[in-house]
A = this chain, B = another copy of it.
């Protein structure tokens, strides 16, 4: 089987599973318990916190573990008090766009910032939307469908002296490129373990420890009261290990993915009517969004599946919908072309042989 759907989720690195195993077996204590069985687990969680902190270059005190990226995005958006006027990118993940709609329903004014044909938010576009009332902005680091990287440090430059809280969803960026919280200029950043060879069920909100943040779940002292509930211990340990590996292997992973994607994009370029979204701008190195004249993306996905090749027709989260991707719509793609999109997202276990096989299969399907 060829798995080209790493932006939906990644396999867990065997070293991560190995790190988790003791916490699924012998080290089962509740980290809040005062006895030795609890204390040992508590210590391990704090080590994992340091590992995750190092991924984005912050002190461990800035890491709030959550149940995943969706919860972290919700915590950032719903948890920052008093955003009179809130802005977010038009190509944000639903776990940003939907809580924004909730805020709106509660009386805050929320607005989506337009993107250009490459999915980029320009400083001008952001500037235009800023008002004296703007209190909160959420702009993703890298897009889940196209891989496009926003220039977050440039955008935060515009807002940092204005007392605006800036959040970025870095779920797709972390582990695939260097992400440095301090120099990014943001106040809050979302991470997820299962996009970087860690387990599902755990993420983090990185907090500058200055922004006032109200928990969305209450009822215990865990995670500095920002996220109560018995910790998902094994998953947190796994997240720590995955973060450590991502830091250690960043260069080689980056190089490997670049090589694979270059071969992929080179190999499909002569398919008639095929284009690649945002090909000319900076993208995370593993993602290629293909669009093709007169092709139904979901049908193509199913045909590839018959050949044991796993890809996505858009973001996995909206895969039950027959609407075209809102990301491609925001970039100005006409409906029919947007419905042809398939997303290839490569991973560290993929090989040049798999890329070649995919190219051959795709060409065979398209030529029919």
Segment at the interface with B among A155-163, A215-223, A241-249: A215-223
Any B CB within 8 A of the CB of A351: no
Q: Which residues of B contact A202 (CB under 8 A)?
A: 201
Q: Are B17 and A29 in contact (CB under 8 A)?
A: no
Contact with B along A335-350 (1 / 0, CB 8 A): 0000000000000000
Any B CB within 8 A of the CB of A288: no
Q: Are A218 and B34 in contact (CB under 8 A)?
A: no
Task: Tell me the chain A residues, 12-41 only, with Cβ under 8 Å from chain B.
Answer: 12, 14, 17, 20, 24-25, 28-30, 32-38
Contact with B along A300-325 (1 / 0, CB 8 A): 01101100101111001111100000
Any B CB within 8 A of the CB of A8: yes
Q: Are A232 and B230 in contact (CB under 8 A)?
A: no
Please give the number of chain A residues whose Cβ is less than 8 angstroms from any Cβ of chain B in the complex: 75
Oligomer copy total? 2
Any B CB within 8 A of the CB of A67: yes
Interface of A toward B, CB cutoff 8 Å? 1, 3, 5, 8-12, 14, 17, 20, 24-25, 28-30, 32-38, 67-71, 73-74, 93-99, 101-102, 192, 194, 199-202, 216-222, 228-235, 298, 301-302, 304-305, 308, 310-313, 316-320
With A71-B229, A200-B235, A222-B317 known, 8 other A-B pairs at CB within 8 A are: A8-B29, A8-B30, A24-B199, A34-B313, A67-B67, A99-B217, A99-B218, A201-B232
